[in-house]
């Protein structure tokens, strides 16, 4: 059953279709009947992901961009820690996107984003992204509608440009319920080591839950393409969130099929050089 499960197909938002988030159960377990199975699956998947990412890095032709969007406390940080951060940091960078600085705000909205896209062989993880410019900006009324509405086309063209250069793009929305979010806010209050995370803006954004839902509806409808699909990941259960993303990531890397580069040397010559070096070392030791 698990072997046949198509992670990409199951969680993907089909192009031109909106998503009614209310119709997707935030506690969904996907193909897993229990937590232990999900956790074992994630461990296996991460091992293969690490192997494939090594090949991607050495091949140095294709690249991968992973976009994370979610309500506060939905688990972007946990997902990075437990799954995505398991990739070799030599070939993988994480970029958090906060409220734009004055310099960033003095440019077009994709300026700061483009600078962080992955070079050949690399993986970039975006913790929030250019989608804030049609989400937070829209809901918090930081720009007029005629400005943010034009951005959907800009985003699609931008992502097509990246795809043309050999960048695969995976965009994940972590889907939690308002009840689960409030439970996690409670944990932040109860646990002193989480106090640094407390902010009043979490509660303000929460008040506009329905407006964010509406904004996400447009994002999914307008910006989920074959080249840059959105995935809705039920995330009330952290172990399911990790397993689903690991499954999609592994499948994508398998499809990318990165190849170790062929040796660019004469192997016989290298073997001769090795034999000579070894002999020289032995002579040095015997001469002591």
Q: Which residues bind ligand ATP (CB under 6 A)?
A: 72-73, 76-77, 97-100, 127-128, 132-133, 136-137, 142, 197, 199, 201
Q: Which does 28 bind (CB under 5 to 8 A by kind): ligand ATP, Mg ion, none?
A: none
CA atoms of 38 and 82, how far apart (whole Å): 13
Rounded least distance, CB 65 to ligand ATP, Å: 17
Read off the DSSP letter of residue 133. Answer: G
Rounded least distance, CB 225 to ligand ATP, Å: 21
Q: Which does 77 bind (CB under 5 to 8 A by kind): Mg ion, ligand ATP, none?
A: ligand ATP
- By C-beta, is 165 or 195 nearer to ligand ATP? 195
Q: Which does 100 bind (CB under 5 to 8 A by kind): ligand ATP, Mg ion, none?
A: ligand ATP
Who's near 242: CB < 8 A, 6+ residues apart?
38, 39, 42, 78, 79, 82, 83
- Helix (H) / strand (E) containing 175: strand 167-175
Sheet holding 63-69, edge to edge: 92-96, 123-127, 63-69, 167-175, 230-234
- By C-beta, is 41 or 220 nearer to ligand ATP? 220
For residue 279, the tally of other CB atoms under 10 A from its CB is 10
- By C-beta, is 99 or 276 nearer to Mg ion? 99
CA atoms of 177 and 71, how far apart (whole Å): 9
Q: Which does 15 bind (CB under 5 to 8 A by kind): ligand ATP, Mg ion, none?
A: none
The residues binding Mg ion (CB under 5 A) are 72
- By C-beta, is 168 or 222 nearer to ligand ATP? 222
Cβ pair 181, 131 in contact under 8 A: no
Hunting for tokens 């991460």 — which residue is that? 46
Q: Which does 29 bind (CB under 5 to 8 A by kind): Mg ion, ligand ATP, none?
A: none
- By C-beta, is 21 or 147 nearer to ligand ATP? 147
Q: Which does 18 bind (CB under 5 to 8 A by kind): ligand ATP, Mg ion, none?
A: none
Cβ pair 164, 230 in contact under 8 A: no
How do beta strands 63-69 and 167-175 pair? Answer: parallel
Report the residue number whose CB is nearest to ligand ATP.
132
Provide the token pair at 86. 């398991």
Partners of residue 96 on adjacent β-strands: 127
- By C-beta, is 68 or 169 nearer to Mg ion? 68
Rounded least distance, CB 203 to Mg ion, Å: 11
Rounded least distance, CB 68 to Mg ion, Å: 13
């Amino acid at each position: 059953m698990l072997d046949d499960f198509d992670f990409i197909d199951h969680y993907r938002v089909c192009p031109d279709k909106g998503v009614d988030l209310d119709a997707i159960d935030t506690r969904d377990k996907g193909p897993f009947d229990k937590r232990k199975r999900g956790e074992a699956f994630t461990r296996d998947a991460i091992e293969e992901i690490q192997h494939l990412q090594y090949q991607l890095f050495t091949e140095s032709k294709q690249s991968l961009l992973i976009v994370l969007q979610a309500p506060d406390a939905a688990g972007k940080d946990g997902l990075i820690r437990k799954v995505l951060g398991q990739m070799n940091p030599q070939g993988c960078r994480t970029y958090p996107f906060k409220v734009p600085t004055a310099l960033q705000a003095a440019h077009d909205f994709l300026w700061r984003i483009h600078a962080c896209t992955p070079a050949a062989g690399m993986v970039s993880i975006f913790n929030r992204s250019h989608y804030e410019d049609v989400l937070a900006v829209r809901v918090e009324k930081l720009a007029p509608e005629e400005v943010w509405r034009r951005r959907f086309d800009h985003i699609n063209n931008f992502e097509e440009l990246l795809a043309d250069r050999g960048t695969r793009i995976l965009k994940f929305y972590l889907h939690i319920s308002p009840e689960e979010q409030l439970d996690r806010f409670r944990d932040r209050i109860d646990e002193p080591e989480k106090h640094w995370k407390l902010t009043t803006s979490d509660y303000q954004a929460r008040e506009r839950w329905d407006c964010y839902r509406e904004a996400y509806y447009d994002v999914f409808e307008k910006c989920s393409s074959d080249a840059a699909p959105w995935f809705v990941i039920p995330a009330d259960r952290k172990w399911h969130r990790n397993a689903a993303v690991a499954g999609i990531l592994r499948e994508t890397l398998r499809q990318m099929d990165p190849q170790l580069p062929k040796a660019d040397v004469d192997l016989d010559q290298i073997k001769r050089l090795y034999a000579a070096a070894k002999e020289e070392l032995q002579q040095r030791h015997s001469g002591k």
